[in-house]
């Protein structure tokens, strides 16, 4: 479980601390510690998220690769 994963639940009313703990086998102290880390290192986390988004966007679109299948070679013998 990563801090970056838990950051999505910080302000989500559907995911109070108790639900996060139950779903992922964490203690309230672990969840609050992760969230405290997020607040203290927000700029670093935002930078990592930005880098990951840029990396993802730089990957070739698999749909394009699938649409451009190599031609089949039928032999005319």
pLDDT confidence tier of residue 70, bands split at 50, 70 and 90: low
Query: pLDDT tens for residues 43-65?
Result: 998 898 899 889 888 888 776 77
Model-level pTM?
0.58
Please tell me what DSSP assigns to residue 60: P
CA 75, CA 77: separation in Å to the nearest integer? 6
In order of 47, 67, 69, the CA distances from 17 in angstroms are 26, 45, 48
HSE (CB half, 13 Å, CA atoms) of 75? 1
């Amino acid at each position: 479980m990563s801090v970056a994963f838990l950051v999505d639940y910080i302000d989500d009313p559907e995911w109070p601390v108790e639900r996060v703990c139950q779903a992922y086998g964490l203690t309230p102290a672990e969840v609050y510690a992760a969230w405290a880390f997020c607040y203290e290192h927000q700029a670093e986390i935002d930078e990592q998220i930005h880098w990951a988004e840029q990396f993802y966007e730089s990957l070739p679109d698999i749909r394009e690769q699938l649409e451009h299948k190599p031609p089949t070679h039928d032999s005319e013998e």
